[in-house]
Structure 1
Amino acid sequence: MGISSAALLSAPFSTFASPQSPVEKKEYTLVRPTIPVKGKKVEIVNFFAYTCPHCLKFAPVIEPWSEKLPSWISYRQVPVAWDARTEPFSRAFYVLQSLRLLPKLHMKFFESVIYQTHKYESGSLAKDIRDFMLANGVQAQAWDSAYNSFGIANKARAASQTWQSYGLDATPMVGIDGKYLTGPHMTTSRQACLTVIEALAQKARKAKA
């Protein structure tokens, strides 16, 4: 297409016994300037784009992992729209989130975009997305009300500000606590990327302490 428990608090992560020591400018880069992150938790931000095939392949790796994170971590997904033409994709993510339909439709929608099983044209993108959602059981009134709401517009705008603050130029990428940025293409594998994220999260945790 063109367009957790006390045990977890003290343990590193459940997936790896001891995170590696990633190398700056090789396995991760520093975010400059650092982005302030409120609260005591270390924030992990998974940046993805519905138009990115690599993001689709990374999703089944990072999402199950994200469900087992210790309680001192906060995790969120941030959709990336590189320009105004693709902003409807960002809105779609937040609409699905607000309607609690991410588990049901997020990956199905993702695959429909990447594998081109549904028509998505830049001139009618919002309508094409709406058609897909309605064809998959979403009520028209619920979709329209959420999609056109002030809240969804604000979330899409905030998502754009977030990825720009991190200095993104590609996806998938993962931001760690406003300080570090890494991605699967910077490591030996998608699974290895998780190890790097864990190490950087530990590093950020120590900095907070």
Structure 2
Amino acid sequence: MIKLFSALLFSVLISSTAFAAEYSDGNGYTTIKNPVRTSDPSKVEVTEIFWYGCPHCYTLEPLVNAWKKDMASDIDFKYLPAVFGRGWLAHAKAFHIADLLGIESELRADLFNAIHVERRNLNSEDALADFFANYGVSENEFRKQYDSFAVNSRLSQADAKIRAYGARGVPGIIVNGKYLVSAQTANGNENIFNVVNFLVEKERQN
């Protein structure tokens, strides 16, 4: 009996060690050189850097939603729109406007579908004003927000964070301001949240 228990314990220790060594800096994720402070130190912050116009972000969206559905209460999930090109600015503004108005979760899937399934051109203020009208946002209200101080401040803050993370593409997942996970580091979209879960547990233990 003692031998059996010892064998089982040894097996568990080996399995735990194998899991712990499964991912490391450069294998699954990259460590951010200078960690970025999170908004709530009592939680593990997980942030997706994205662009509505990105086809890879669109295909990752169901995986993000499935993961969020079962995420623990000690996780603080956020979205962060990137502006890596001139055509990305309108979509970043759309996110911040929707977030400020409290309707981003309502229109997110529809906006992704309009761009990637319906192939609608929603890269301009005019086109987005028409789109937001479907959610009870008047043209006047949308245009007032589009170049508002609040939206421009959020754009600047997001840009500063993304540069601090060292992110150069989308989608990217930042775990607790310390680690960057992408399809490239994780070897495919389908493995991204395996790495994220590993890093979340790592941060819990810290």
1:138 equivalent in structure 2: 137
2:158 equivalent in structure 1: 159
2:27 equivalent in structure 1: 26
2:44 equivalent in structure 1: 42
1:175 equivalent in structure 2: 174
1:93 partner letter: F
- What are the equivalent positions in structure 2 for 1:112-127 lying under 5 Å apart? 112-115=114-117, 117-120=119-122, 125-127=124-126
Other structure's SS at 2:23 match: coil
Unaligned runs of 5+ in 1: 1-17
2:148 partner letter: S
Q: 1:151 & 1:20 partners in 2: Cα distance?
A: 44
Change (3 A) 1:20 1:184: farther
1:10 equivalent in structure 2: none
Percent identity reads 21
Q: 1:107 & 1:54 partners in 2: Cα distance?
A: 14
1:72 equivalent in structure 2: 74
Q: 1:84 & 1:35 partners in 2: Cα distance?
A: 26
Q: TM-score, length-normalised on structure 2? A: 0.79
Change (3 A) 1:187 1:85: closer
2:198 equivalent in structure 1: 199
Contact preservation (8 Å) 1:46, 1:76: yes
Contact preservation (8 Å) 1:176, 1:197: yes
Q: 1:140 & 1:87 partners in 2: Cα distance?
A: 19
1:164 partner letter: R
Other structure's SS at 1:50 match: coil
1:148 equivalent in structure 2: 147
Contact preservation (8 Å) 2:130, 2:139: no
Change (3 A) 1:157 1:75: same
| Deviation >6 Å, runs of 4+ | none
How many residue pairs match? The answer is 187
Contact preservation (8 Å) 1:21, 1:196: no
- What are the equivalent positions in structure 2 for 1:2-21 lying under 5 Å apart? 21=22
Q: 2:120 & 2:69 partners in 1: Cα distance?
A: 30
Change (3 A) 1:19 1:78: farther
Change (3 A) 1:85 1:188: closer
- What are the equivalent positions in structure 2 for 1:55-94 lying under 5 Å apart? 55-94=57-96
> What does the per-residue CA deviation read over 1:62-81, in whole Å, with 9 as the maximum and x for residues that have no partner?
12312332222111010111
Per residue, is there more helix in 1 or in 2?
A: 2
Contact preservation (8 Å) 1:20, 1:199: no
> What is the CA-CA distance between 1:188 and the residue it aligns to?
4.4
Q: 1:159 & 1:145 partners in 2: Cα distance?
A: 20
Unaligned runs of 5+ in 2: 1-18
> What does the per-residue CA deviation read over 1:135-185, in whole Å, with 9 as the maximum and x for residues that have no partner?
565322332233332212211221111111111111111001111111233
Q: TM-score, length-normalised on structure 1? A: 0.78
1:13 equivalent in structure 2: none
> What is the CA-CA distance between 1:20 and the residue it aligns to?
7.8
25-34 or 136-145: which moved more?
Answer: 136-145
Highest Rg: 1 or 2?
2
2:143 partner letter: D
Change (3 A) 1:43 1:113: same
> What is the CA-CA distance between 1:85 and the residue it aligns to?
4.6
